[in-house]
Each structure stands twice: as C-alpha cells, then as structure tokens.
A and B are shown apart, each in its own frame.
Chain A
Amino acid sequence: NAGVMQNPRHLVRRRGQEARLRCSPMKGHSHVYWYRQLPEEGLKFMVYLQKENIIDESGMPKERFSAEFPKEGPSILRIQQVVRGDSAAYFCASSPGQAGGSYEQYFGPGTRLTVT
C-alpha cells in the first residue's frame, strides 16, 4: 500500500513565477491536508480538502494561494507570483476521516520550494 506521494520533491522558482505542488493521498483516504513548514519553525495548517470540496482554508494566505482536490487526480496546491517568503517545505497529509474511525494523519515526504 503506497504511502502519500508528493511531487516534485524539490522545486525552484524565480520570483513572480507559479508553483504547483501535487499530492496523491493514500489509497482509500478521502481527506487531504496541506501544511507549510518554514525553516526552524513548526508545521502550520493551511487547508483541508475532501474530494471536490474545500472544508477549511483558514490557514491559507488570502492572496496567491489556492488548493483543489478534484474528483479524479491528485490534490494541487498552487502558489501564484511566488515571493522569497514562500520558500518552505510543503507537506501533504491524508486520512480516512472520521467515517474511517481514524484520526491520525499520514504525511508525504514534502515538497521543498525555493524561490530565487
């Protein structure tokens, strides 16, 4: 059973470009979460999605950031017009959700975004 997959593992973008980060949850998991980890800081929640729905985006910056989890395909975190302050590790996690009776989250290896 493959774990949470994220790609790319490393992404370099120039200021002003767009970054697209992909996440495929574990098989059977319908809940996806995105977190950001700045250097020497803790994990910060960004957004929680279920298939085709954003459930909670209270941690997302108001501008330039968006997320989706389409009916088919991976979840995408999109950052438009990147700035140096967006440089961080972005982690995706999945869970079966409450209906699955499990509250732990399974994390992917992360995408390390560097903005030059």
Chain B
Amino acid sequence: SQKIEQNSEALNIQEGKTATLTCNYTNYSPAYLQWYRQDPGRGPVFLLLIRENEKEKRKERLKVTFDTTLKQSLFHITASQPADSATYLCALYNAGNMLTFGGGTRLMVKP
C-alpha cells in the first residue's frame, strides 16, 4: 500500500542551527512533492514545490531535496528561529490534482 512517512516525534533544536526534516514514501511515483507549514488552529501554508526531475530547490532559508531513487525528500531550515516552530507537512502530488499528506513533524526551535 502507499505510504508517506514523516517522523512523528517532535524535533527540538537550538536557535541558529539547521533543522532537517525527513519525508519517506513507498509505492508512489510522484510527479511533484510539496512542503507545507501548519500552525496550531490554522490551515496549512504552502512553502515549496519540487518536481521529480529536480534534485534541490531553495527559497530564502529553506532548502528541499528530492531523491526519487531513495524515495525521500529532506527539508532544511537554516539559521532556525523560534518563529519557525510549527508542524511541517510533506505532500505528494501523484495524478488528478490530488495531494496526499504525511502525518507531519513538529519542529520546536528553542531560543
């Protein structure tokens, strides 16, 4: 069966360090992979999209990698700040405009 796995345990890091979140998937051949941020009580907010033929994408302090051989995406936040604390969701776009989300990883950045 198809699965998207994100580390369900919270990731605690110190301000200024780089946070790295992992998204693994099985039995998918996604054309695109997306990362969203969700704050408590709010809807997800789109951050980055990476296509299957792209290895890496950057946006300000954010970097996403996509390894279709390993079936894995890594999401990095450099120079992390307490304001980066949130739950980060990985989502796969397969076909038909439908997104399938992972369970999310909660990031806590301590000052």
Seen from chain A, the residues whose Cβ lies within 8 Å of a Cβ on chain B are 4, 31, 33, 35, 41-45, 48, 55-56, 91, 93, 95, 97-98, 103-110
Seen from chain B, the residues whose Cβ lies within 8 Å of a Cβ on chain A are 32, 34, 36, 41-46, 49, 89, 93, 96-104
**6 cross-chain CB contacts under 8 A:** A33-B98, A33-B99, A45-B98, A55-B96, A103-B49, A107-B43
Partner of A45, one of B32, B45, B49, B100: B100
Partner of B34, one of A43, A48, A104, A108: A104
Q: Would you call B43 and A48 a contact (CB within 8 A)?
A: no
SS class, residues of chain A in contact with chain B: strand
> Whose C-beta in chain B lies nearest to the C-beta of A98?
B97
Q: Would you call B42 and A43 a contact (CB within 8 A)?
A: no
Other contacts beyond A56-B97, A95-B97, A103-B32: 11, CB < 8 A: A31-B97, A42-B101, A42-B103, A43-B89, A45-B99, A45-B100, A48-B97, A48-B98, A103-B49, A107-B45, A110-B42
